[in-house]
Amino acid sequence: MRSLFPSFTDELSYDDLIELYDYPAKKAWVRANFVSSLDGAVQGSDHKSASLSSKADKRVLGLLRSLADVVVIGAHTARVEDYRPVKSTDRRTVIRQRLGLSPAPAMAVVSRSLDISASLLEGGHAPTLVITSESSPKNRRLDIARRTPVIVAGETSVDFAEAVDALVQRSFHRILCEGGPTLMHSVVASGRLDELCLTWTPVIASGDALRLTDGAAVEPPYQLRLKQLLEEDSELFACYVRP
């Protein structure tokens, strides 16, 4: 992988990538990560994202998880992609120890229905949190709360800004949102997105796949500026931050 912007650097090492992708020393930082075709599809023909992803993209995804305190995911993506807690690997442990982080990032599932698999709820090397709204089924919510932390943020749907504040109160400062587009719409609409890491995979997919966000137009459109651009095998790894 090489850097094209802000400076040209050939052959970045894994340590270089850690430095480039590390979170800023700020109290709370919300980063989202997506992979997209050149024409904006974030789902492959199988309605999953893995079919758009490459080895290099998975390397970046793994690194972003290694740098995060919590991975926030929409319940539909968790169901479709059979999300499990993030594992603690040797490489991950070394990176996290060096940065003074816990052994593995926690997962946080955003859901109103609370239809979340037992394997995800059980947690792994770190607990799985549930972020929901007052409108979620009460008995199911109480049942889940006996097993794992539940954050109630918002009435009819999850208020993402409130959810971020609740995560920060629990010392989750390095927040990584892995989508999908419905959740991403709430993230953008909340005004709390600090950074978007976007992999442009060099294919044109056509079809009716979802885009990065799914929801009503955000007015005014959310402004971002390019912070860095990396490349490997014609695939572009862009990071955009708030101006």
Ligand X SMILES: NC(=O)c1ccc[n+]([C@@H]2O[C@H](COP(=O)([O-])OP(=O)(O)OC[C@H]3O[C@@H](n4cnc5c(N)ncnc54)[C@H](OP(=O)(O)O)[C@@H]3O)[C@@H](O)[C@H]2O)c1
Residues that bind ligand X (CB under 6 A): 34-35, 42-43, 47-49, 52, 74-77, 80-81, 110-113, 115, 133, 157-158, 178-183, 186, 210, 214
Nearer to ligand X, 16 or 198 (CB): 198
Contacts of 150 (CB under 8 A, 6+ apart): 129, 130, 131, 132, 141, 144
State in angstroms the smallest separation of the CB of 27 from ligand X.
23
Please compute, for residue 210, the number of CA atoms within 13 A of its CA located in the half-sphere on the CB side: 21
Nearer to ligand X, 29 or 200 (CB): 200
For residue 201, the cross-strand partners are 37
Nearer to ligand X, 128 or 186 (CB): 186
Please give the helix or strand (H or E) that residue 240 lies within, else none. Answer: strand 235-241
State in angstroms the smallest separation of the CB of 115 from ligand X.
5
Nearer to ligand X, 162 or 232 (CB): 162
- State the Cα–Cα distance between residues 213 and 19, nearest whole angstrom: 28
State in angstroms the smallest separation of the CB of 181 from ligand X.
4
Nearer to ligand X, 123 or 154 (CB): 154
State in angstroms the smallest separation of the CB of 170 from ligand X.
19
State in angstroms the smallest separation of the CB of 86 from ligand X.
15
Two tokens at 191?
Answer: 């005004």
Q: Is 118 exposed, middle or buried (0-12, 13-18, 19+ CB in 10 A)?
A: exposed
State in angstroms the smallest separation of the CB of 147 from ligand X.
17
Nearer to ligand X, 78 or 101 (CB): 78
DSSP-derived pairing of the beta strands 106-110 and 70-74: parallel
Distances (CA, A) of 198 to 40, 179, 219: 11, 12, 22
